[in-house]
Structure 1
Amino acid sequence: MQTSMRGSGLRSHFMGAQRASLVRPVAASRTRQQVATQALFGFGAKKEDAGAAPKLYICIQCGWIYDGDFPKAPGSFKCPACQAPKSRFKIYKGKLSGKVSNTGAAMKQRFQAKQW
């Protein structure tokens, strides 16, 4: 947008004559770098509700379910049933009634259903 100063007003070819004191520059609330970082790493994403039920994670190698705060588990965590690394766990999408059962039959059934 081309502007030129004439007298006491600011003249714009698009908006006509306006007083410079009336026109304030609009400052961006976030820089392009901040937006790109947020999009890439997920900063500023909505937090989960504190009252929501914790998500269960299932070992996709054997069907064992981790019942606890999985994201806070150490990176060296391994599945106690098959020794799969933490990266082999996914969010369990199946239905569970009551307490988690990690018996051999229950694990086999979950593994065959592939509900992750």
Structure 2
Amino acid sequence: MSRIFTTSFASVYPHYVTKVEKKGRTKAELDEVIEWLTGFDESALAGHLAAGTTFEEFFDAAELNPHASLITGVVCGVRVESVEDPLMQKIRYLDKLVDELAKGKAMEKVLRA
């Protein structure tokens, strides 16, 4: 089992915020991306952050977007669509969306509209 599975989502979330804000994007845009992927609205996300939910629990509770399989490309040298472990793939989907947001991609493209 990967260590990231038992890491709290709240411990990584500030790094996502920093990453996108450094590139001129907003926390609100990040939260929109997370909601698109997981179905968690602002209050559900806040609840997970406050509760110290692990990545495993976070994605167990998520309603993954039916278009998540359209997320392709490389994150940390790994092809997202080739990740075999379902939980790790969901984490990589999120990483990829955060990367695209930080790289200035249009929100419609990030959200696979």
* TM-score, normalised relative to structure 1: 0.21
Question: Which structure is higher in RCO with an 8 Å CA cutoff and minimum separation 6?
Answer: 2
Structure (1 or 2) with the greater helix fraction: 2
